[in-house]
Amino acid sequence: MEPLEALADAIMTNEGWRLGTRSWRNRNPGNLRRSNPIQPVDKDGYRIFDSLAQGFLALRADLDAKTRLHSHGLSNSSTMLDLLNIYAPAGDANNPTAYTNFVCKWTSAILLREIKPLTTLQEYLG
């Protein structure tokens, strides 16, 4: 599995993709918020997709923009912790440190190499 897909899988799991959850109901595995005013959202502003495939592709595109296109001020030397502080900020009632630790453990197991909170995006993506 390639690193961006492993990252999306970890986020999907951490966001609670299972029967009955917001991400499952909205087919939004990353619990993405609206980036365009015409996108459908639930009452809390989370995007609603027609299918899991569409939601997963949107998650991948969001991660690609952040990690490879360096949106949000990230660079190759930004760390996994930097990325997840942006993806799941404390201001949205997240715990970025716990989120990062989960993602690093998950991606380490999938990619069969050690990923740490201070692993840079360049090291992570290869």
pLDDT for 35 equals: 87
The tally of domains found in the chain comes to 1
The answer as to whether 10 is a domain residue is yes
Task: Report which of 51, 14, 6 is spatially closest to residue 31, judged by C-alpha positions.
Answer: 14
The answer as to whether 72 is a domain residue is yes
Cα–Cα dist 28/120, whole Å = 27
For the entire predicted model, the pTM comes to 0.94
pLDDT for 71 equals: 86
Report which DSSP code applies to 3. Answer: H
Residues of the chain with pLDDT under 70: none
The answer as to whether 31 is a domain residue is no
Range of the domain at 80: 3-18+52-125
Cα–Cα dist 4/11, whole Å = 11
3 state DSSP class of 79: strand
Cα–Cα dist 90/97, whole Å = 9
Amino acid identity for residue 113 in this structure: R
